[in-house]
């Protein structure tokens, strides 16, 4: 099964390839377990925003397979109950305020890791992709006072900020890479030694990671996935497309 890291929200994901592959994996799991799959959809909610945006995440799944959608809302006044992930067959984590998603799911990180490790596919859009790594980039637009990306992608933070993430992948993730100008932030984070490596993912693009063998990856969608690493004092950027 796979970890799907999407470089934007569903509004920027125009192709059908991501949902087609994701739902195919859900169907495989459900068939093996002989049950109707239960798909957890995790969304930040403020004054009903979660329910408003739910169809954008749930409809592409339930239009392809018979399933039960388990709505999980993150709110600023409480964390998500880890038990909600105990019996799910897929996890979708939406876009929005990255720090809020990480705050809400930190207490459930172990259960999410166990689920993914047992073969539950994970689909993270934008913020949902950024919080998936061991070390999660939650925002910021400066390093040592120097701007490295547009302030609009800062999440209200000035200096680049990393916190322990869900622990699903070993590399950090940035999103809206080419379209939002966050590629510069990803390069600067590695160059200055804040993290060892970053995958910066374009909109309408997903990096698909084999959860059992994370050396196996592929890119799907219309854009690129940029790999930033550093060796011998030299920062290297490579590009992969579908």
3-state secondary structure of 70: strand
Residue 79 confidence (pLDDT): 86
| 212 DSSP β-pair partners | none
Q: Where are the beta strands (DSSP E) in the chain?
A: 2-6, 38-44, 68-74, 90-93, 122-125, 135-139, 142-143, 146-147, 161-164, 172-175, 197-201, 205-210, 217-221, 224-231, 234-241
* 108-133 tens-digit pLDDT: 999 999 999 999 999 999 999 999 99
**Main-chain dihedrals φ then ψ at residue 213, nearest 5 degrees:** -140, 90
Residue 43 confidence (pLDDT): 98
Residue 76 confidence (pLDDT): 87
Q: Are 4 and 121 in contact (CB under 8 A)?
A: yes
* 207-239 tens-digit pLDDT: 999 999 999 999 999 999 999 999 988 999 999
Distances (CA, A) of 118 to 23, 26, 29, 79, 111: 17, 13, 10, 23, 11
Q: Answer positive or negative: Cα dihedral of 2, 207, 143, 44.
A: negative
> Which stretches in the chain have pLDDT values below 70?
none
């Amino acid at each position: 099964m796979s970890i799907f890291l999407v470089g934007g929200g569903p509004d920027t994901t125009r192709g059908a390839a991501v949902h087609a592959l994701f739902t195919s994996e859900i169907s495989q799991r459900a068939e093996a377990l002989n049950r109707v799959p239960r798909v957890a959809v995790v969304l930040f909610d403020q004054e009903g925003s979660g329910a408003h945006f739910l169809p954008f995440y749930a409809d592409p799944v339930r239009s392809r397979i018979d399933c039960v959608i388990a709505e999980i809302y993150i709110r600023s006044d409480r964390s998500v109950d880890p038990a909600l992930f105990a019996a799910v067959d897929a996890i979708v984590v939406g876009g929005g305020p990255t720090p809020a998603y990480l705050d809400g799911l930190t207490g459930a990180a172990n259960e999410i890791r166990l689920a993914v490790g047992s073969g539950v596919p994970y689909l993270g859009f934008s913020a949902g992709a950024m919080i998936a790594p061991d070390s999660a980039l939650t925002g910021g637009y400066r390093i040592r006072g120097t701007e490295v990306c547009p302030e609009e992608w800062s999440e209200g933070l000035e200096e680049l900020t990393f916190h322990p993430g869900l622990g699903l992948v070993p590399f950090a993730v940035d999103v809206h890479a080419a379209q939002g100008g966050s590629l510069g932030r990803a390069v600067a984070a590695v160059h200055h030694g804040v993290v060892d490596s970053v995958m910066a993912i374009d909109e309408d693009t997903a990096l698909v990671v084999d959860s059992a063998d994370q050396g196996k990856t592929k890119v799907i969608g219309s854009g690129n996935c940029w790999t930033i690493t550093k060796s011998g004092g030299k920062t290297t950027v490579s590009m992969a497309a579908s």
